[in-house]
A and B are shown apart, each in its own frame.
Chain A
Amino acid sequence: MRFKLKVWRQKDPKAKGKLVEYEAIGVSPNTSFLEMLDVVNEGLVARGEEPIAFDSDCREGICGTCSLTINGEAHGPDHPGAACEVYMRRFKDGATIVVEPFRAKPFPLIKDLVVDRSALDRIVQAGGFVAARAGSAPEANSTLIPKHRADRAMEAAACIGCGACAAACPNASAMLFTAAKVSHLAFLPQGQPERTSRVLKMVTAMDAEGFGNCTNTYECEAVCPAEISASLIAKLNREYVIASLRRNAGE
């Protein structure tokens, strides 16, 4: 297969970026998108040009490191899944493919397709954890959790923190990420002592990073590689309202 690529190239955070055209020739349909970029980069290096910088790590959809917007969709056309799980057979032979970074103000661009997503880490640092030292794993039956609750918590905890929700959101809002991180602890007994302060702190941190606001377009859940449901955003709103009332009542 052959493709015409239009890739966002930007030397450094301050430089002006632009889409640059490249040819990818002799690509096997079973090549993954990132492997295809590797091949293009080998060609660039052989010609003495600067290779395209992009993030990747596990390349099996579980780490949340890859962060490409392919043809205007976060993580490309294969939902649910990360950019590393997109195969070239998904595209038509001879197609033009536009590759851009995740774009949001809180994700400053470092180089080409690489952005800094530590804003998400700072949201978690604001309260997305259980502060008490829990020691080693307790006896399994000492804290009983109904199966349904455990499942809901597990679904929320599936978030890999890739930032596709914010990248795809028309408003660059990170509500789905924050909702997942707030919810998985709110579902479990271990998360209860800090439940009120956690949601207030994390939402404040999210706003401070400069993310946009949720207008319920649900574009986030459509591109989420971990299939986090936007109904968790409703849960986040609920948690936030209840926590605000509690705090104002002096609790």
Chain B
Amino acid sequence: MIVAITGVVLIAFVIGHLLGNLQIFLGPDWVNSYAEHLRALGPLLWAIRIFLLVNLLLHIFYTISLAIENRRARPVHYRKRDYVKATFASRYMAMSGLIVLAFILYHLAHFTVRVTDPRFLLLKADPLNRYDVYSMMVYGFQNIFVSAFYVLGMFLLALHLSHGTSSFFQSLGLNDEKLAPRLAVAGRLLAWLIFVGYTSIPVAVLLHLVKPAQQI
């Protein structure tokens, strides 16, 4: 239950974050002013960050203990195992989750703390004296390896959510025979829409459809 509730908070964050990111297609002014607004929240921003962090930690703690209990429930494994209905996504939630966690840590170091790319220090403020988030994103994604890891991270996140989204309704008992298959389809659709949305940014950068606003 805690896993389901914290999960839905994290899904809401992932959608909100995506909407923020997609503003890159509206030009530097949009993204930079959006980032400035977020920073202007001050203590509220930190409250949101701490809330999300607690959510994430609870989600990880309970799922890991769940996975350990589940492994203990079958000490002798099948020599041959076939699945009739269980999807790949549903069977490898722990694996996809842990790789997404590794991605999140890198992602924070990359774009939030900005310790992995020395070029970000050379970025000048934009004409309105705001941090040039737009150019940071573009320069960040111009590195093919950074973009590749990003796309991989988003792929596993989508895989994770393709099972997790409809799982939320099942775990809290918020469905029935008619609703369950529809929720399963809707959950998968949402997950892969999120994937398309996020990956569109590095793809656009690599195809030079989005160019940096300043030279460094």
Residues of chain A whose beta carbon lies under 8 Å from any beta carbon of chain B = 6, 8, 17, 19, 69, 71-73, 79, 98, 100, 103-106, 109, 168, 170-173, 210-219, 221-223, 229-231, 233-241
- Other CB < 8 Å A-B pairs besides A100-B79, A236-B173, 18 of them? A73-B84, A100-B78, A170-B70, A171-B70, A210-B72, A212-B74, A213-B69, A215-B70, A215-B93, A215-B167, A216-B90, A216-B163, A217-B85, A217-B86, A222-B85, A231-B177, A235-B176, A239-B173
**Complex Cα gap A219–B81 (Å):** 12
Contact of B180 among A73, A79, A231 (CB under 8 A): A231
**Chain A residues with CB under 8 A of B87:** 217
Task: Name the interface residues of B43-70: CB closer than 8 Å to any CB of A.
Answer: 66, 69-70
Question: Can you offer 5 A-B residue contacts whose CB atoms are under 8 A?
Answer: A104-B74, A215-B167, A222-B85, A234-B170, A238-B172
**Which 4 residue pairs across A and B have the least CB separation, nearest first?**
A238-B173, A212-B73, A72-B82, A222-B85
Residues of chain B whose beta carbon lies under 8 Å from any beta carbon of chain A = 1, 66, 69-70, 72-87, 90-91, 93, 163, 166-167, 169-177, 180
**Chain B residues with CB under 8 A of A8:** 79
B73 x A211 contact (CB < 8 A): yes
A237 x B74 contact (CB < 8 A): no
**Chain B residues with CB under 8 A of A6:** 79
B170 x A237 contact (CB < 8 A): yes
The closest CB in chain A to the CB of B72 belongs to: A105
B73 x A241 contact (CB < 8 A): no
**Chain B residues with CB under 8 A of A72:** 78, 80-82
Most chain B beta-carbon contacts within 10 A, residue among A171, A211, A240: A171
A69 x B66 contact (CB < 8 A): no
The closest CB in chain B to the CB of A232 belongs to: B177
B72 x A218 contact (CB < 8 A): no
CB B158 to nearest CB in A, in angstroms, measures 17
**Chain B residues with CB under 8 A of A171:** 70, 73-74
CB A178 to nearest CB in B, in angstroms, measures 14
**Chain A residues with CB under 8 A of B79:** 6, 8, 19, 98, 100
CB A124 to nearest CB in B, in angstroms, measures 19
A105 x B73 contact (CB < 8 A): yes
**Complex Cα gap A101–B93 (Å):** 27
**Chain A residues with CB under 8 A of B91:** 170, 217
**Chain A residues with CB under 8 A of B173:** 234-241
Most chain B beta-carbon contacts within 10 A, residue among A17, A168, A222, A235: A168
B82 x A73 contact (CB < 8 A): yes
The closest CB in chain B to the CB of A209 belongs to: B73
A219 x B84 contact (CB < 8 A): yes
B83 x A172 contact (CB < 8 A): no
The closest CB in chain B to the CB of A242 belongs to: B173
B90 x A172 contact (CB < 8 A): no
A105 x B74 contact (CB < 8 A): yes
B170 x A103 contact (CB < 8 A): no
**Chain A residues with CB under 8 A of B93:** 215
CB B185 to nearest CB in A, in angstroms, measures 14
B73 x A223 contact (CB < 8 A): no
A216 x B167 contact (CB < 8 A): yes
B73 x A210 contact (CB < 8 A): yes
**Chain B residues with CB under 8 A of A231:** 175-177, 180
**Complex Cα gap A215–B166 (Å):** 11
**Complex Cα gap A241–B72 (Å):** 25
B177 x A229 contact (CB < 8 A): yes
The closest CB in chain A to the CB of B84 belongs to: A222
The closest CB in chain B to the CB of A210 belongs to: B73
**Complex Cα gap A98–B177 (Å):** 34
The closest CB in chain B to the CB of A99 belongs to: B80
**Chain A residues with CB under 8 A of B172:** 237-238, 241
CB B49 to nearest CB in A, in angstroms, measures 29
CB B60 to nearest CB in A, in angstroms, measures 15
**Chain B residues with CB under 8 A of A230:** 170, 180
